[in-house]
Protein backbone atom coordinates (compact mmCIF):
# COMPACT_ATOMS: atom_id res chain seq x y z
CA UNK A 1 0.00 0.00 0.00
CA UNK A 2 1.28 3.47 -0.89
CA UNK A 3 2.68 5.53 2.04
CA UNK A 4 0.41 8.44 1.13
CA UNK A 5 -2.65 6.21 1.41
CA UNK A 6 -1.42 4.74 4.72
CA UNK A 7 -1.00 8.25 6.11
CA UNK A 8 -4.48 9.25 4.99
CA UNK A 9 -6.01 6.14 6.57
CA UNK A 10 -4.20 6.84 9.87
CA UNK A 11 -5.51 10.42 9.85
CA UNK A 12 -9.07 9.25 9.18
CA UNK A 13 -8.87 6.66 11.95
CA UNK A 14 -7.48 9.23 14.38
CA UNK A 15 -10.38 11.54 13.59
CA UNK A 16 -12.69 8.75 14.78
CA UNK A 17 -10.64 8.21 17.94
CA UNK A 18 -8.74 5.15 16.72
CA UNK A 19 -4.98 4.80 16.74
CA UNK A 20 -3.22 2.44 14.32
CA UNK A 21 0.32 1.59 15.44
CA UNK A 22 3.24 1.40 13.02
CA UNK A 23 3.53 -1.95 11.28
CA UNK A 24 -0.14 -2.88 11.78
CA UNK A 25 -0.75 -3.72 8.12
CA UNK A 26 -3.81 -5.87 8.76
CA UNK A 27 -5.48 -3.09 10.77
CA UNK A 28 -4.68 -0.57 8.03
CA UNK A 29 -6.26 -2.81 5.40
CA UNK A 30 -9.35 -3.36 7.58
CA UNK A 31 -9.63 0.36 8.25
CA UNK A 32 -9.28 1.16 4.56
CA UNK A 33 -12.10 -1.22 3.63
CA UNK A 34 -14.33 0.13 6.42
CA UNK A 35 -13.61 3.75 5.52
CA UNK A 36 -14.19 3.23 1.79
CA UNK A 37 -17.45 1.36 2.35
CA UNK A 38 -18.67 4.02 4.77
CA UNK A 39 -17.72 6.77 2.33
CA UNK A 40 -19.59 5.14 -0.54
CA UNK A 41 -22.56 4.53 1.75
CA UNK A 42 -22.69 8.22 2.60
CA UNK A 43 -22.61 9.15 -1.09
CA UNK A 44 -25.33 6.63 -1.88
CA UNK A 45 -27.53 8.26 0.73
CA UNK A 46 -26.89 11.68 -0.79
CA UNK A 47 -27.84 10.32 -4.21
CA UNK A 48 -30.97 8.38 -3.28
CA UNK A 49 -33.30 11.12 -4.48
CA UNK A 50 -31.40 11.89 -7.69
CA UNK A 51 -30.13 8.53 -8.98
CA UNK A 52 -27.18 10.12 -10.70
CA UNK A 53 -24.74 7.26 -10.06
CA UNK A 54 -25.52 3.93 -11.68
CA UNK A 55 -22.66 1.95 -10.13
CA UNK A 56 -19.95 2.61 -7.52
CA UNK A 57 -16.37 1.39 -7.74
CA UNK A 58 -15.46 -1.54 -5.49
CA UNK A 59 -14.23 -0.17 -2.13
CA UNK A 60 -10.79 -1.69 -2.62
CA UNK A 61 -10.43 0.31 -5.86
CA UNK A 62 -10.62 3.64 -4.02
CA UNK A 63 -6.90 3.88 -3.42
CA UNK A 64 -4.71 6.96 -3.51
CA UNK A 65 -1.57 6.12 -5.45
CA UNK A 66 1.86 7.64 -4.86
CA UNK A 67 3.29 9.78 -7.64
CA UNK A 68 1.31 10.95 -10.63
CA UNK A 69 0.26 14.45 -11.57
CA UNK A 70 -0.11 16.45 -8.34
CA UNK A 71 -2.98 18.37 -9.91
CA UNK A 72 -5.23 15.29 -9.78
CA UNK A 73 -3.63 13.32 -6.96
CA UNK A 74 -6.46 11.67 -5.03
CA UNK A 75 -9.19 13.54 -6.95
CA UNK A 76 -12.42 11.56 -7.19
CA UNK A 77 -13.77 11.27 -10.75
CA UNK A 78 -17.04 9.78 -11.98
CA UNK A 79 -17.39 8.31 -15.48
CA UNK A 80 -20.44 8.28 -17.71
CA UNK A 81 -21.45 4.65 -18.14
CA UNK A 82 -20.59 4.51 -21.82
CA UNK A 83 -16.87 4.85 -20.96
CA UNK A 84 -15.03 1.62 -20.20
CA UNK A 85 -13.16 1.09 -16.95
CA UNK A 86 -11.31 -2.05 -15.95
CA UNK A 87 -13.12 -2.64 -12.65
CA UNK A 88 -16.79 -2.07 -13.59
CA UNK A 89 -19.22 -3.05 -16.34
CA UNK A 90 -20.04 -0.55 -19.11
CA UNK A 91 -23.69 -0.67 -20.19
CA UNK A 92 -24.61 2.63 -21.92
CA UNK A 93 -27.72 2.22 -19.75
CA UNK A 94 -28.93 -0.77 -21.81
CA UNK A 95 -29.88 -4.18 -20.49
CA UNK A 96 -28.34 -5.59 -23.67
CA UNK A 97 -24.91 -4.64 -22.29
CA UNK A 98 -25.59 -5.51 -18.65
CA UNK A 99 -22.90 -8.21 -18.62
CA UNK A 100 -20.34 -6.14 -20.54
CA UNK A 101 -17.29 -6.08 -18.24
CA UNK A 102 -14.29 -5.96 -20.59
CA UNK A 103 -11.70 -5.47 -17.85
CA UNK A 104 -9.98 -2.65 -19.73
CA UNK A 105 -9.67 1.10 -19.29
CA UNK A 106 -10.52 3.49 -22.08
CA UNK A 107 -7.37 5.52 -22.85
CA UNK A 108 -8.86 8.61 -21.20
CA UNK A 109 -9.47 6.58 -18.02
CA UNK A 110 -5.89 5.30 -18.10
CA UNK A 111 -4.71 8.91 -18.39
CA UNK A 112 -6.80 9.89 -15.38
CA UNK A 113 -5.42 7.04 -13.29
CA UNK A 114 -1.86 7.84 -14.38
CA UNK A 115 -2.45 11.40 -13.18
CA UNK A 116 -3.43 10.16 -9.73
CA UNK A 117 -7.22 10.38 -10.08
CA UNK A 118 -9.44 7.87 -8.28
CA UNK A 119 -12.36 6.48 -10.30
CA UNK A 120 -15.36 6.68 -7.97
CA UNK A 121 -18.02 5.05 -10.12
CA UNK A 122 -20.23 5.20 -13.22
CA UNK A 123 -22.97 7.75 -13.77
CA UNK A 124 -26.40 7.15 -15.24
CA UNK A 125 -27.15 8.50 -18.70
CA UNK A 126 -29.87 8.76 -21.27
CA UNK A 127 -29.85 5.20 -22.60
CA UNK A 128 -27.58 4.76 -25.64
CA UNK A 129 -26.75 8.46 -25.24
CA UNK A 130 -30.23 9.53 -26.43
CA UNK A 131 -29.89 7.97 -29.90
CA UNK A 132 -32.35 5.06 -29.51
CA UNK A 133 -35.59 7.01 -29.96
CA UNK A 134 -36.85 10.40 -31.06
CA UNK A 135 -39.07 10.24 -27.95
CA UNK A 136 -36.35 9.29 -25.47
CA UNK A 137 -36.49 10.82 -21.99
CA UNK A 138 -33.26 12.50 -20.91
CA UNK A 139 -31.66 10.89 -17.90
CA UNK A 140 -33.59 7.61 -18.18
CA UNK A 141 -32.05 4.23 -18.81
CA UNK A 142 -33.34 0.73 -18.28
CA UNK A 143 -30.32 -0.01 -16.10
CA UNK A 144 -30.27 3.15 -13.98
CA UNK A 145 -33.85 4.45 -14.01
CA UNK A 146 -34.56 8.19 -14.05
CA UNK A 147 -31.91 10.68 -12.94
CA UNK A 148 -33.48 13.77 -11.36
CA UNK A 149 -32.59 17.45 -11.62
CA UNK A 150 -31.55 18.61 -8.12
CA UNK A 151 -33.08 22.06 -8.60
CA UNK A 152 -36.49 20.55 -9.36
CA UNK A 153 -36.85 16.75 -9.58
CA UNK A 154 -39.91 17.12 -11.81
CA UNK A 155 -37.80 18.80 -14.49
CA UNK A 156 -35.28 17.24 -16.83
CA UNK A 157 -31.59 16.84 -16.03
CA UNK A 158 -31.10 17.02 -19.82
CA UNK A 159 -28.85 14.49 -21.45
CA UNK A 160 -27.28 12.40 -22.32
CA UNK A 161 -24.58 13.05 -19.67
CA UNK A 162 -27.35 13.49 -17.12
CA UNK A 163 -25.87 11.65 -14.17
CA UNK A 164 -22.44 13.21 -14.69
CA UNK A 165 -23.85 16.74 -14.39
CA UNK A 166 -26.20 15.96 -11.49
CA UNK A 167 -23.49 14.14 -9.51
CA UNK A 168 -21.17 17.14 -9.75
CA UNK A 169 -24.02 19.56 -8.95
CA UNK A 170 -24.89 17.77 -5.69
CA UNK A 171 -21.25 17.33 -4.67
CA UNK A 172 -20.72 13.58 -5.05
CA UNK A 173 -17.46 14.28 -6.88
CA UNK A 174 -15.69 17.42 -8.07
CA UNK A 175 -15.27 16.02 -11.58
CA UNK A 176 -17.25 13.81 -13.92
CA UNK A 177 -16.53 12.81 -17.48
CA UNK A 178 -19.35 13.08 -19.98
CA UNK A 179 -19.60 12.53 -23.71
CA UNK A 180 -21.21 14.68 -26.36
CA UNK A 181 -22.40 14.16 -29.90
CA UNK A 182 -24.67 17.22 -29.90
CA UNK A 183 -25.42 18.95 -26.61
CA UNK A 184 -24.89 15.97 -24.30
CA UNK A 185 -22.30 17.69 -22.10
CA UNK A 186 -23.30 21.32 -22.44
CA UNK A 187 -27.07 20.97 -21.98
CA UNK A 188 -26.89 18.91 -18.74
CA UNK A 189 -24.23 21.31 -17.45
CA UNK A 190 -26.49 24.28 -18.17
CA UNK A 191 -29.69 22.98 -16.56
CA UNK A 192 -27.86 21.60 -13.50
CA UNK A 193 -25.83 24.74 -12.81
CA UNK A 194 -22.32 23.43 -13.50
CA UNK A 195 -19.53 23.86 -16.06
CA UNK A 196 -19.38 21.57 -19.08
CA UNK A 197 -16.79 21.55 -21.85
CA UNK A 198 -17.01 19.79 -25.22
CA UNK A 199 -13.50 19.82 -26.71
CA UNK A 200 -12.55 20.00 -30.36
CA UNK A 201 -13.29 16.58 -31.85
CA UNK A 202 -9.90 14.87 -32.13
CA UNK A 203 -8.37 16.36 -28.98
CA UNK A 204 -9.55 13.50 -26.75
CA UNK A 205 -9.53 9.76 -27.53
CA UNK A 206 -12.84 7.94 -28.10
CA UNK A 207 -11.39 4.42 -27.95
CA UNK A 208 -13.40 2.05 -25.72
CA UNK A 209 -16.31 4.47 -25.47
CA UNK A 210 -19.69 3.25 -26.75
CA UNK A 211 -20.06 5.26 -29.96
CA UNK A 212 -22.67 7.14 -31.92
CA UNK A 213 -20.69 9.10 -34.50
CA UNK A 214 -16.98 9.20 -35.29
CA UNK A 215 -17.59 12.63 -36.86
CA UNK A 216 -19.06 14.26 -33.76
CA UNK A 217 -18.40 12.15 -30.62
CA UNK A 218 -16.04 13.38 -27.93
CA UNK A 219 -15.57 13.01 -24.20
CA UNK A 220 -15.15 16.05 -21.98
CA UNK A 221 -15.16 17.27 -18.37
CA UNK A 222 -18.03 18.44 -16.19
CA UNK A 223 -17.02 20.38 -13.09
CA UNK A 224 -18.06 23.23 -10.80
CA UNK A 225 -15.40 25.59 -12.14
CA UNK A 226 -13.72 26.24 -15.47
CA UNK A 227 -10.35 25.82 -13.77
CA UNK A 228 -11.18 22.27 -12.72
CA UNK A 229 -12.41 21.50 -16.24
CA UNK A 230 -9.14 22.87 -17.65
CA UNK A 231 -7.08 20.69 -15.31
CA UNK A 232 -8.95 17.58 -16.42
CA UNK A 233 -8.68 18.45 -20.09
CA UNK A 234 -4.90 18.80 -19.72
CA UNK A 235 -4.84 15.22 -18.46
CA UNK A 236 -7.21 13.50 -20.90
CA UNK A 237 -6.18 15.32 -24.11
CA UNK A 238 -3.69 13.61 -26.36
CA UNK A 239 -3.16 11.38 -29.37
CA UNK A 240 -4.28 7.77 -29.43
CA UNK A 241 -3.00 5.45 -32.20
CA UNK A 242 -6.32 3.58 -32.10
CA UNK A 243 -8.32 6.75 -32.83
CA UNK A 244 -7.18 8.35 -36.12
CA UNK A 245 -9.10 11.55 -35.38
CA UNK A 246 -6.59 12.33 -32.60
CA UNK A 247 -3.48 12.32 -34.80
CA UNK A 248 -2.90 16.07 -34.16
CA UNK A 249 -3.86 16.05 -30.48
CA UNK A 250 -0.36 15.83 -28.99
CA UNK A 251 0.82 18.72 -31.14
CA UNK A 252 -2.27 20.80 -30.36
CA UNK A 253 -2.71 20.23 -26.62
CA UNK A 254 -1.39 22.72 -24.09
CA UNK A 255 -1.53 23.17 -20.32
CA UNK A 256 -5.12 24.42 -20.28
CA UNK A 257 -5.00 25.50 -16.65
CA UNK A 258 -1.87 27.58 -17.23
CA UNK A 259 -3.56 29.19 -20.23
CA UNK A 260 -6.44 30.56 -18.12
CA UNK A 261 -6.40 34.34 -17.75
CA UNK A 262 -8.99 36.11 -15.60
CA UNK A 263 -8.40 39.24 -17.70
CA UNK A 264 -8.80 37.56 -21.09
CA UNK A 265 -12.10 39.34 -21.82
CA UNK A 266 -10.36 42.71 -21.77
CA UNK A 267 -10.23 43.91 -25.37
CA UNK A 268 -11.72 40.66 -26.74
CA UNK A 269 -14.33 40.95 -29.48
CA UNK A 270 -17.17 38.55 -28.65
CA UNK A 271 -19.88 37.72 -31.20
CA UNK A 272 -23.49 37.49 -30.03
CA UNK A 273 -25.46 34.94 -32.07
CA UNK A 274 -28.55 37.14 -31.98
CA UNK A 275 -30.24 35.05 -34.68
CA UNK A 276 -30.65 32.19 -32.16
CA UNK A 277 -32.31 34.28 -29.43
CA UNK A 278 -35.99 34.14 -30.50
CA UNK A 279 -36.13 30.42 -29.63
CA UNK A 280 -35.31 30.99 -25.94
CA UNK A 281 -37.66 31.90 -23.10
CA UNK A 282 -38.10 35.57 -22.21
CA UNK A 283 -36.53 34.92 -18.81
CA UNK A 284 -33.42 33.32 -20.31
CA UNK A 285 -33.11 36.15 -22.83
CA UNK A 286 -33.19 38.62 -19.90
CA UNK A 287 -30.43 36.71 -18.12
CA UNK A 288 -28.42 36.75 -21.34
CA UNK A 289 -28.73 40.53 -21.62
CA UNK A 290 -27.46 40.75 -18.04
CA UNK A 291 -24.52 38.56 -19.02
CA UNK A 292 -23.71 40.94 -21.89
CA UNK A 293 -23.54 43.80 -19.37
CA UNK A 294 -21.06 41.76 -17.31
CA UNK A 295 -18.98 40.97 -20.39
CA UNK A 296 -18.75 44.64 -21.30
CA UNK A 297 -17.84 45.52 -17.72
CA UNK A 298 -15.01 42.98 -17.93
CA UNK A 299 -13.64 44.80 -20.99
CA UNK A 300 -15.11 42.76 -23.84
CA UNK A 301 -16.36 44.37 -27.03
CA UNK A 302 -19.73 42.77 -27.75
CA UNK A 303 -20.48 42.43 -31.47
CA UNK A 304 -24.03 41.71 -32.65
CA UNK A 305 -24.41 38.98 -35.30
CA UNK A 306 -27.94 39.17 -36.63
CA UNK A 307 -27.63 36.76 -39.56
CA UNK A 308 -26.79 33.09 -39.09
CA UNK A 309 -25.41 30.65 -41.67
CA UNK A 310 -27.52 30.50 -44.81
CA UNK A 311 -28.09 26.75 -44.42
CA UNK A 312 -28.79 26.86 -40.67
CA UNK A 313 -32.24 25.26 -40.98
CA UNK A 314 -30.94 22.45 -43.19
CA UNK A 315 -28.08 21.41 -40.92
CA UNK A 316 -30.28 19.41 -38.56
CA UNK A 317 -31.56 17.11 -41.30
CA UNK A 318 -28.10 16.52 -42.70
CA UNK A 319 -26.78 15.88 -39.21
CA UNK A 320 -29.40 13.22 -38.53
CA UNK A 321 -28.47 11.37 -41.72
CA UNK A 322 -24.82 11.42 -40.63
CA UNK A 323 -25.52 10.29 -37.08
CA UNK A 324 -27.79 7.40 -38.05
CA UNK A 325 -25.43 6.14 -40.75
CA UNK A 326 -22.37 6.34 -38.51
CA UNK A 327 -24.27 4.82 -35.58
CA UNK A 328 -24.87 1.60 -37.49
CA UNK A 329 -21.27 1.43 -38.71
CA UNK A 330 -19.56 2.48 -35.48
CA UNK A 331 -21.76 0.54 -33.06
CA UNK A 332 -21.39 -2.64 -35.10
CA UNK A 333 -17.60 -2.29 -34.86
CA UNK A 334 -17.80 -1.65 -31.12
CA UNK A 335 -20.09 -4.59 -30.43
CA UNK A 336 -17.83 -6.85 -32.48
CA UNK A 337 -14.96 -5.90 -30.14
CA UNK A 338 -16.81 -7.12 -27.04
CA UNK A 339 -16.65 -10.58 -25.49
CA UNK A 340 -19.43 -12.76 -26.98
CA UNK A 341 -19.75 -14.53 -23.65
CA UNK A 342 -20.66 -11.20 -22.05
CA UNK A 343 -22.54 -9.45 -24.86
CA UNK A 344 -24.90 -11.58 -26.91
CA UNK A 345 -25.90 -8.66 -29.15
CA UNK A 346 -23.18 -8.52 -31.82
CA UNK A 347 -24.78 -5.90 -34.09
CA UNK A 348 -27.25 -3.03 -34.01
CA UNK A 349 -29.81 -5.42 -35.50
CA UNK A 350 -29.27 -7.74 -32.53
CA UNK A 351 -29.84 -4.86 -30.09
CA UNK A 352 -33.07 -3.94 -31.87
CA UNK A 353 -34.23 -7.55 -31.60
CA UNK A 354 -33.28 -7.66 -27.91
CA UNK A 355 -35.25 -4.50 -27.17
CA UNK A 356 -38.29 -5.82 -29.02
CA UNK A 357 -38.67 -8.72 -26.58
CA UNK A 358 -37.42 -7.02 -23.39
CA UNK A 359 -40.38 -5.12 -21.86
CA UNK A 360 -38.24 -3.10 -19.46
CA UNK A 361 -36.50 -1.48 -22.44
CA UNK A 362 -39.59 -0.16 -24.22
CA UNK A 363 -41.83 0.69 -21.27
CA UNK A 364 -41.48 4.45 -21.86
CA UNK A 365 -40.47 4.85 -25.50
CA UNK A 366 -39.53 2.83 -28.56
CA UNK A 367 -36.49 2.59 -30.82
CA UNK A 368 -37.43 4.38 -34.03
CA UNK A 369 -33.98 5.95 -34.44
CA UNK A 370 -32.29 2.57 -34.07
CA UNK A 371 -34.59 1.20 -36.75
CA UNK A 372 -33.86 4.12 -39.07
CA UNK A 373 -30.13 3.64 -38.47
CA UNK A 374 -30.38 -0.05 -39.31
CA UNK A 375 -31.90 0.90 -42.68
CA UNK A 376 -29.02 3.19 -43.67
CA UNK A 377 -26.71 2.27 -46.54
CA UNK A 378 -23.24 2.65 -45.03
CA UNK A 379 -20.37 5.12 -45.25
CA UNK A 380 -20.16 4.93 -49.03
CA UNK A 381 -23.86 5.67 -49.52
CA UNK A 382 -24.33 8.84 -51.61
CA UNK A 383 -26.91 10.31 -49.23
CA UNK A 384 -24.49 9.98 -46.31
CA UNK A 385 -21.49 11.35 -48.18
CA UNK A 386 -23.48 14.37 -49.34
CA UNK A 387 -25.01 15.01 -45.91
CA UNK A 388 -21.65 14.89 -44.17
CA UNK A 389 -20.01 17.24 -46.66
CA UNK A 390 -22.89 19.72 -46.60
CA UNK A 391 -23.37 19.73 -42.83
CA UNK A 392 -19.65 20.07 -42.09
CA UNK A 393 -19.26 22.94 -44.56
CA UNK A 394 -22.40 24.74 -43.34
CA UNK A 395 -21.52 24.48 -39.66
CA UNK A 396 -17.76 25.02 -39.94
CA UNK A 397 -16.28 27.00 -42.87
CA UNK A 398 -19.59 28.66 -43.84
CA UNK A 399 -20.87 28.82 -40.26
CA UNK A 400 -18.65 29.40 -37.24
CA UNK A 401 -15.52 30.21 -39.24
CA UNK A 402 -17.28 32.73 -41.52
CA UNK A 403 -19.08 34.49 -38.66
CA UNK A 404 -15.87 34.81 -36.66
CA UNK A 405 -13.88 36.08 -39.65
CA UNK A 406 -16.47 38.52 -41.01
CA UNK A 407 -17.14 40.06 -37.60
CA UNK A 408 -13.52 39.79 -36.42
CA UNK A 409 -14.48 38.06 -33.16
CA UNK A 410 -12.55 35.52 -31.10
CA UNK A 411 -15.61 33.64 -29.83
CA UNK A 412 -19.35 33.29 -30.31
CA UNK A 413 -21.85 33.31 -27.47
CA UNK A 414 -25.52 32.52 -26.80
CA UNK A 415 -27.50 30.99 -23.94
CA UNK A 416 -26.80 27.26 -23.81
CA UNK A 417 -30.54 26.55 -23.45
CA UNK A 418 -33.47 27.85 -21.39
CA UNK A 419 -34.54 26.44 -18.04
CA UNK A 420 -35.04 22.69 -17.70
CA UNK A 421 -38.36 21.51 -19.09
CA UNK A 422 -40.57 18.93 -17.42
CA UNK A 423 -40.08 15.19 -17.62
CA UNK A 424 -43.68 14.75 -18.76
CA UNK A 425 -43.69 14.20 -22.55
CA UNK A 426 -47.41 14.95 -22.69
CA UNK A 427 -47.34 18.56 -21.50
CA UNK A 428 -46.27 21.63 -23.50
CA UNK A 429 -43.30 22.61 -21.32
CA UNK A 430 -40.60 21.76 -23.85
CA UNK A 431 -36.99 22.66 -24.60
CA UNK A 432 -36.58 26.30 -25.66
CA UNK A 433 -33.45 27.22 -27.59
CA UNK A 434 -30.08 25.54 -27.98
CA UNK A 435 -26.59 26.74 -28.92
CA UNK A 436 -25.05 23.31 -29.45
CA UNK A 437 -25.64 22.30 -33.08
CA UNK A 438 -23.09 24.39 -34.99
CA UNK A 439 -20.19 23.44 -32.69
CA UNK A 440 -21.33 19.82 -32.57
CA UNK A 441 -21.52 19.35 -36.34
CA UNK A 442 -18.32 21.30 -37.01
CA UNK A 443 -16.49 19.47 -34.21
CA UNK A 444 -15.45 22.75 -32.56
CA UNK A 445 -15.07 23.56 -28.83
CA UNK A 446 -18.11 24.56 -26.80
CA UNK A 447 -18.11 25.63 -23.14
CA UNK A 448 -21.15 26.18 -20.92
CA UNK A 449 -20.69 28.32 -17.78
CA UNK A 450 -23.42 29.18 -15.23
CA UNK A 451 -25.09 32.43 -16.32
CA UNK A 452 -28.05 32.85 -13.98
CA UNK A 453 -31.53 31.52 -13.30
CA UNK A 454 -34.72 31.26 -15.33
CA UNK A 455 -37.64 31.03 -12.85
CA UNK A 456 -35.44 29.39 -10.25
CA UNK A 457 -33.71 26.99 -12.66
CA UNK A 458 -30.07 27.36 -13.77
CA UNK A 459 -29.17 28.46 -17.27
CA UNK A 460 -25.71 28.54 -18.83
CA UNK A 461 -23.79 30.85 -21.16
CA UNK A 462 -22.15 29.16 -24.16
CA UNK A 463 -18.72 30.15 -25.50
CA UNK A 464 -17.93 28.64 -28.92
CA UNK A 465 -14.72 28.94 -30.94
CA UNK A 466 -12.95 27.60 -33.99
CA UNK A 467 -11.15 24.30 -34.32
CA UNK A 468 -8.36 23.84 -31.74
CA UNK A 469 -9.42 27.09 -29.96
CA UNK A 470 -10.01 25.09 -26.76
CA UNK A 471 -7.56 27.06 -24.59
CA UNK A 472 -8.97 30.42 -25.64
CA UNK A 473 -12.57 29.36 -25.08
CA UNK A 474 -11.77 28.02 -21.63
CA UNK A 475 -9.93 31.22 -20.75
CA UNK A 476 -12.78 33.49 -21.87
CA UNK A 477 -15.26 31.37 -19.92
CA UNK A 478 -13.00 31.47 -16.89
CA UNK A 479 -12.80 35.27 -17.08
CA UNK A 480 -16.59 35.53 -17.25
CA UNK A 481 -16.97 33.08 -14.37
CA UNK A 482 -14.51 35.03 -12.20
CA UNK A 483 -16.28 38.31 -12.98
CA UNK A 484 -19.78 37.04 -12.18
CA UNK A 485 -19.72 33.98 -9.87
CA UNK A 486 -23.23 33.04 -10.96
CA UNK A 487 -23.23 29.43 -9.78
CA UNK A 488 -25.42 28.63 -6.78
CA UNK A 489 -25.51 25.00 -5.62
CA UNK A 490 -28.90 23.30 -5.53
CA UNK A 491 -30.88 23.27 -2.26
CA UNK A 492 -30.18 19.86 -0.78
CA UNK A 493 -32.72 18.22 1.53
CA UNK A 494 -31.66 18.05 5.16
CA UNK A 495 -31.25 14.59 6.68
CA UNK A 496 -33.85 13.56 9.24
CA UNK A 497 -32.76 13.86 12.86
- Annotated catalytic residues are 80, 160, 184
CA distance 335 to 348: 8
From the list 141, 171, 139, 169, the residue with the least C-alpha distance to 157 is 139
Give just the sign of the alpha carbon dihedral 310, 314, 320, 323.
negative
Adjacency order of strands within the sheet including 76-80: 53-56, 118-123, 76-80, 175-180, 218-223, 195-198, 446-454, 457-464, 411-415, 269-273, 301-305
Q: Are strands 446-454 and 269-273 parallel, antiparallel or unpaired?
A: unpaired
Half-sphere exposure of 354 (CA within 13 A, CB side): 18
CA distance 449 to 295: 13
Residue 68's region, left for phi above 0, alpha for psi from -120 to 50, else beta, is left
Half-sphere exposure of 1 (CA within 13 A, CB side): 23
Amino acid sequence: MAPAEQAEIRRAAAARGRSIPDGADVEICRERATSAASFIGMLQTMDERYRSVLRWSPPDALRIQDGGNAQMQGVMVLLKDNIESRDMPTTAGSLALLGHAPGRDAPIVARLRDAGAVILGKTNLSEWANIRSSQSISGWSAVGGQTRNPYDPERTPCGSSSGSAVAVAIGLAPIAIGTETDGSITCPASVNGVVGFKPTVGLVSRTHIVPISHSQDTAGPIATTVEDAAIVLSVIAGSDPADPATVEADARKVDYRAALDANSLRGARIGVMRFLLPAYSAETRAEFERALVALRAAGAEVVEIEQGPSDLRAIGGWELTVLLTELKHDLNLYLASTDPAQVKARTLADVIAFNAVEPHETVLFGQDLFELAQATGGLTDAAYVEARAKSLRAAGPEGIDRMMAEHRVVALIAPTTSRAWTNDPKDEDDMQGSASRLAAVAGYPHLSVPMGFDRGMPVGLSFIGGKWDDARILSLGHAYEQATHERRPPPMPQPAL
